[in-house]
Amino acid sequence: MHELPIVKSIFDICVKHATANNAKKILSVTLKVGEVSDLQDQWIQRYFDYLSKGTIVEGAKLVIKRVPLVMRCKLCSESFQVNVNERRQVECPRCKGTKLAYVSGREYIVENLEIV
Amino acid sequence: MEEIRLIEVKENILSDNKSKANELRDRLRSTGTFMLNLMSSPGSGKTSLILRTIEALKDELCLGVIEADIESIVDSEKVASRGVKVVQLRTGGFCHLDATMVSEGLNVLGPQDLDLVIIENVGNLVCPAEFDTGAIKNAMILSIPEGDDKPLKYPLMFTVCDVLVVNKIDAMGVFDFDLRAFEKRVRALNQNIDIFMTSCKTGEGINSWVNWIRNELKAFSTLA
């Protein structure tokens, strides 16, 4: 359910940038979404289509790039990729430390727009 | 044929809510109001914990409560009956509160007269974790009947909270809840989280929880 306010935010960003660039139409929108997010791609597109009806955004295709979860060990500074489904037993592969910080994986970014 | 242009945007989708949440925190610092966002699944004891907290603190602090429910107002009626300021936000189907909704609730309460505001977020372990409400600290409840596997299923919630209240410990004997395994799972996600064991039914552990609030308030007012 929380897809809707997030999609509204994506929609607003698209309209703002398309208008500022005198676009007639938006062809595609590339999003960068961290793997930790539980947003479902198909729902994002459905809500987006619903919101964009009758606007310059109508018909735009969402391209969703998933950003892998990367963590950094606070002890030895090693950065490493983590399988989201195995997050429960994460430890540093180099020093076995468990004090970790997020490097990436929680992004919600509108990367770019393709317009005409 | 029209030329296709690519515009670099690189704008954070949730930055709007995040900046509203930061504004709200500035406002709370200026009025010296500590706001706590309480999250959990439905039925884990949010309202009961709030009632216990009110009981313990109402003589020393001015309290306010922001209640969020998709439909009903039963929780706010319970809280109002204890003589504290309460505002009910009906989210109308939304599964979480965001900073704008909380800000409106706070306007109704009038934060300038309040030391502590507790937000009872919508009962849900998923969406509220994604949205910064503007609270100073985030708290969650996990009750014993829900099971010790919840950190595996809802990792983000356990990651974003500063404090975890394990409620209904009076029911420990009835359920196969492995407390050690649970704590290990929680710590793997969030090393520094404070954990309290309570029973809102018997009152066990409530003192330690309330002392945590007192200490946080003290730290907050020294900084503010």
Q: Which DSSP string do the residues of B87-109 spell out, in sequence order?
A: EEEE-TT-SS--HHHHHHHHHHH
Looking at the predicted structure, is the pLDDT value of residue A64 above 90?
yes
Structure tokens at B118: 């507790």
Band (pLDDT 50/70/90 cuts) for residue B163 is very high
- Average pLDDT of every residue of chain A: 89
Structure tokens at A48: 């987006």
- Average pLDDT of every residue of chain B: 91
Question: Percent of chain B scored above 70 by pLDDT?
Answer: 96
* DSSP bridge partners of A69: A82
Q: Do B13 and A110 touch (CB under 8 A)?
A: yes
Measured in degrees and rounded to the nearest 5, phi and psi for residue B100 equal -65, -45
Mutate to test the interface with B, among A7, A9, A64, A74 (most CBs of B within 10 A): A9
Q: A-B interface: how many C-beta pairs under 8 angstroms?
A: 90
Segment B67-72 mean pLDDT: 75
pLDDT of residue B90: 72
CA distance A116 to B157: 41
CA distance A106 to A92: 19
B5 touches chain A (CB under 8 A): yes
Q: Do B10 and A2 touch (CB under 8 A)?
A: no
pLDDT tens, B128-149?
898 899 999 999 999 999 999 9
Which runs of consecutive H residues, i.e. helices, occur in chain B?
Answer: 15-31, 46-57, 74-80, 99-109, 150-153, 155-160, 179-189, 206-223
Question: Percent of chain A scored above 70 by pLDDT?
Answer: 96
pLDDT tens, B84-133?
899 988 766 677 888 988 999 999 999 888 999 999 999 999 888 988 99
Band (pLDDT 50/70/90 cuts) for residue B224 is low
CA distance A108 to B6: 19
User: What residue type is A51 in one-letter code?
Assistant: L
Q: Do A98 and B6 touch (CB under 8 A)?
A: no
pLDDT of residue B1: 61
Place of tokens 């317009």: A115
Of A1, A87, A109, the CB nearest to B13: A109
Collect all residues of chain A within an 8 Å Cβ-Cβ radius of residue B13. 6, 9-10, 13, 31, 108-110
User: What pTM value is reported for the model?
Assistant: 0.79
The ipTM of this complex is 0.78
Q: Do A2 and B17 touch (CB under 8 A)?
A: no
For B127, name the nearest residue in chain A, comparing CA atoms only. A2
For A7, name the nearest residue in chain B, comparing CA atoms only. B13
Helices and strands: H and E segment counts in chain A: 2, 6
B192 touches chain A (CB under 8 A): no
Band (pLDDT 50/70/90 cuts) for residue A88 is low
Q: Do A112 and B6 touch (CB under 8 A)?
A: yes
Using only C-alpha atoms, what is the Rg of chain A? 18
Looking at the predicted structure, is the pLDDT value of residue A1 above 80?
no
